[in-house]
A = this chain, B = another copy of it.
Amino acid sequence: MHVIAGFTILPLGAGISLSPYVAEVERVLAGTGLTHELHANGTNIEGEWDAVMTAIRACHETLHGMGVPRVHTVIQLGTRTDRDQRMADKVASVRAKLRP
């Protein structure tokens, strides 16, 4: 089952600057080989359900390994059976409708 997901990972009890942790998350994701994309409020990622969930779990474990006592994550994900769709298709489909 292919999933298009986005997630925001929040280290709690680890101070106020989150970018060192988000950078580490990006490194973890780069190691998975999954398509992923950083944006201002999180990271989009896609792949097989289990691969995506294993990647997010690895991010939690990595942050805890860096000494973060509490990690909160918000995940949004979509699956569909009517057709095959990729992350890039979603944005392209909206942009096509916005073209004058």
- Of B4, B12, B49, B82, the residue contacting A18 (CB under 8 A) is B12
CB < 8 Å neighbour of A40 from B4, B19, B40, B60: B4
**How many monomers of this protein are in the complex?**
4
User: Closest CB-CB distance, A58 to chain B, in whole Å?
Assistant: 11
State how many residues of chain A have any CB contact under 8 Å with chain B. Answer: 55
- Chain A positions within 8 Å of B, measured between CB atoms, are 1, 4-6, 8, 10, 12-13, 15-16, 18-20, 22-23, 26-27, 37-42, 44, 49-50, 53, 57, 60-61, 64, 69-82, 87-88, 90-91, 93-98
For this complex, 27 residue pairs linking A to B, each with C-beta atoms less than 8 Å apart, are A1-B57, A1-B60, A6-B8, A6-B39, A6-B41, A10-B12, A13-B15, A16-B69, A16-B70, A16-B80, A16-B82, A23-B98, A27-B98, A38-B91, A40-B44, A40-B87, A40-B88, A40-B91, A50-B57, A60-B79, A64-B79, A64-B81, A69-B81, A69-B82, A71-B79, A71-B80, A72-B77
